[in-house]
Structure formats: structure tokens, C-alpha cells
Amino acid sequence: MLRKNIERLRASYKWFAPCGPALIATVLRNLGDYHPGVRALFPEDTSHLHRRFFETLGQVVKSVHRFHSLEAPLADLGRKAAAEGANPGTYRIVRDELLTVMGELAGDDWTQALAEDWEQLLDAMIGAMLAGTMTEELRKAA
């Protein structure tokens, strides 16, 4: 990822920081409204996840310039999500809902370039998380 893309991501993360947990709460509420099967993968009370989810995004944004250092923790997160029933389609739905809510909150500041930056970052996270599930499947098959 280019420096300008990283700078856009970091700046936009700062915009969202004051309402980060509420942003995640909105994403999860929308999953319940539009994708109840995906929402069912989360506990009924998600309040403890709002801050953690947003802080995880922050850690990734902070370290995106050395993404390789994030691969192992994201793979572990992917294994945990798979154990709860997540699959590749689940990740895409959550990604798309997150992008939609971010775009709504950012308003006119949500440019096509920024949307693409976030989509690229989230896709990289998804890839690392799915790699963790594949590694687990290979271990079980061996």
C-alpha cells in the first residue's frame, strides 16, 4: 500500500475514533436487520465487542506499513471466527456493512479513493484471517 493510501486510512480512522464503538454497534445492528444469519454468529449482547473490534481496526491501520506482523494475530482471529461459524461469505458481508456505515458517517469526506483504501485493507485482513482457517484445516487433515 502506498504512503498516501496509508495516510488517508490513518486520517479517516482518527475521524471515526470518537464514535468508533458506536460505528461497530451500528454495523452489528444492521447485520441483524439485513443479514440475520451473519448476526447470529455474534453473541446476543455485543457491547463488549464494540470497542475491541474498533481497536483491532486501529491496530491494523497503525501497523499496515508492516502488515506481515499482523498476519499471525489475524490468522488466530480467523480460526476463532471459523469455530463460531464464519466463512468467506460472512467476511464479505461484514466488510460491506462496515464500508457502508463508514461512508454514511463520513458523508462528503468519503471519497472513492478512501473507500478503495478501506476495502483493500479489509480484504487484506480477511485474507489473513482465512489463511488461519486454511492452516487449521491442513493441520486437521494431516
pLDDT digits (tens, 9 = 90+) for 32-82: 999 999 999 999 999 999 999 999 999 999 999 999 999 999 999 999 999
pLDDT of res. 136: 56
Cα–Cα dist 26/60, whole Å? 21
| Other CB atoms within 10 Å distance of the CB of residue 61 | 20
List the domain range (segments joined by +) for residue 38: 3-141
pLDDT of res. 110: 97
The tally of domains found in the chain comes to 1
Cα–Cα dist 56/74, whole Å? 10
Cα–Cα dist 34/90, whole Å? 13
33 vs 140, higher pLDDT: 33
Task: Judge whether residue 26 has pLDDT over 80.
Answer: yes
The identity of residue 95, as a single letter, is R
pTM summary value: 0.92
Residue-wise pLDDT tens digits, 105-138: 999 999 999 999 999 999 999 999 999 888 655 5
Q: For the domain that residue 28 is a member of, what is the CATH number?
A: 1.10.490.10
Name the DSSP letter for residue 87. Answer: -
| Other CB atoms within 10 Å distance of the CB of residue 132 | 21
Name the DSSP letter for residue 107. Answer: G
